Structure 1
Amino acid sequence: MDIGFLKTSIVGFVQTHQAYAPFVLGLMTFAESLAFVSLLLPTMTIMIAVGFVIAAADIPFWQVWAGAACGAFLGNWVSFAIGQRYKKAVYETWPLSRNPKLIMRGEDFFQRFGPWAVFLGRFFGPIRAVIALIAGIFLMPVVLFQAANVASASVWAFIILAPGAGLAQYWLW
């Protein structure tokens, strides 16, 4: 199987099922933003590659961006709610129980940057997995959390999808 055939097959599949693209990206970014799941799934690399595929399949960028941003927003919201509800007891839950240094780094990051930690944390791989959870544990005001959550999800989704979508017309396709 050559790379040209593989590329044509993937783009053809995505074009045929493009109505599902925003939903699929939303699920991927939801998982990437959910406290426990994001430690297990390395979806960042996949998301960057998806930018190329959506451009090649002629799917409107704003649709997939909206799906990705919504998924990221909801994943952080659920993580925040879990932190509010279960407090530090979640630290004893796998896979967090196997990453005490990550928890310490997340708490230090949150203490250092306060509300900005939610916005900034989305852009730093390991911290992204715990920062919304920690914000909930430390009882960050919901309105402040959601403002940072919406803003960071929107910017983050754009940053991970736009390079592939923008470069696809010049590269490989």
Structure 2
Amino acid sequence: MTVDSMLESIPPLAVYLVVGLIIGIESLGVPLPGEIALVSAALLASRHTLDIDPLWVGGSATIGAIIGDSIGYSIGRRFGMGLFERLGTRFPKHFGPGHVALAKQLFARWGVWAVFFGRFIALLRIFAGPLAGALHMRYRYFLAANASGALCWAGGTTAVVYYLGLAAEKWLSRFSWIALVVAIVIGIGVTMLLKERTRHLIAQLEEEHDWETLRQPPA
């Protein structure tokens, strides 16, 4: 069985459900590759031999993001900041004190805009819902920022990747599946770069905290 025939055997409904589920779970606070799933589905939609609708891809991603963030908001509202302390002890690479401190700093600086732009930033995409709830952000403001951010992120990403995929298929008509592999590799690379950038910001924040502690006069 060739790669093309394998791709053609994938039911469109399964693609929509998987995209919505992965992005929804990621929005709950679970570190899953939501962006890679969305990019891959949008590229599949650009294949004229497949019956995958880009509108449904973007729609499922948007719905998954809104529902996932809303559930995350409810969980954060229910358990408060203690939730992140418990998660930090179990998953220090994703919910360590530095990650929480950086996310709180971004929320303090941007306010409700942190929810909107958080959809485009790997760290805030995981923290936005639960942290907004833990900080008791008003839900109507959260929902407005959450929905608009999800729509812009999912719709914009799907549209850009879809039309790039159409252009790529023109040049890679015999090996168009290569574009899917390249997109996944690029997505992984971007994710790793963002994680490295996050580690750098966390280290910088910890250094500033240590410096402020040293400057404080002894009690």
- Structure 1 and Structure 2 fold alike (TM over 0.5): yes
**1:102·1:127 contact (CA, 8 Å) conserved in 2?**
no
5+ long unaligned stretches in structure 1:
none
- Please give the alpha-carbon distance, in whole angstroms, between the structure 2 residues aligned to 1:132 and 1:125: 13
1:151 to 136, 148, 152: 148
Instruction: Output the TM-score relative to the length of structure 2.
Output: 0.69
Output the CA distance in 2 between the equivalents of 1:20 and 1:111.
39
Larger radius of gyration: 2
Q: Does 1:77 align with 2:70?
A: yes
Cross-structure match for 1:106: 103
Question: Amino acid of the residue matched to residue 50 of structure 1?
Answer: A
- 5 Å matches for 1:64-143? 64-94=57-87, 98=92, 99-143=96-140
Q: Are positions 1:55 and 2:42 aligned together?
A: no
How big is the shift at 1:95?
5.2
| Distance 1:168-1:34 versus aligned 2 partners, 3 A rule | same
Structure number with the bigger relative contact order (C-alpha 8 A, sep ≥ 6) is 1
- Cα distance, 1:158 vs structure 2: 1.5
1:62 and 1:42 map into 2 onto residues whose CA distance is: 20
Q: Is the CA contact 2:115–2:124 (under 8 Å) kept in the aligned structure 1?
A: no
Alpha carbons of 1:62 and 1:168: their partners in 2 closer, same or farther (altered >3 Å)? same
Cα RMSD after superposing both structures: 1.8
- Report the identity percentage: 29
What residue in structure 2 maps to residue 20 of structure 1? 14
Tell me, yes or no, if the aligned pair for 2:59 and 2:155 is still in contact at 8 Å: no
Shift of 1:31: 1.9
Moved more, 86-95 or 68-77: 86-95
Shift of residue 121 of structure 1?
1.1
